[in-house]
Structure 1
Amino acid sequence: MLEALPERLPEGHKNLSARLTGYALMFCDGKMQSRQVMPIEVAYQAPTKAGGMKDKKQSMSMQANYCMFCGEKYNKDADQAA
């Protein structure tokens, strides 16, 4: 997460932290696949126009590529059919 998040944040950000806050199962239409979706809380400092830094918090979700129960990779073709 900490490697992928910086590209989504403002240039010059500092003190990035992220934590997993739980998980939820998502049911997709079509083939009725379940997917794990995990809410994430992100905190960082972003530069201001005045030259200082301001604390920022952001919430986002991360969808798993593999099933957390059986370890099988999710089928991308099923995503496009849904």
Structure 2
Amino acid sequence: MRPSPDVRTAEAWRDFGTRLRQWRRRAGLTQAQVGTRVGYDHTAISKLEHGTRKTPLPLARRLDDLLTAGGDLVD
């Protein structure tokens, strides 16, 4: 049986959050520093990393550029 769309969406959000956290840590930045640089509050970055908030594509692109993730946060 295939997972429901809601389950797949939640898994995708968590996967993005995990990758975002890894790239942020590699860059040596805090959630607050990342948030400031992309125009979001640190609590929003925390929610993204925990997979509880959808990432709009323009934000994903800014995060990918900031963290030099080479497209990993946009795929």
TM-score, reference length from structure 2: 0.21
Q: Whose RCO is larger (CA < 8 A, sep 6+)?
A: 2
TM-score, reference length from structure 1: 0.20
**Higher share of residues assigned strand:** 1
**Higher share of residues assigned helix:** 2
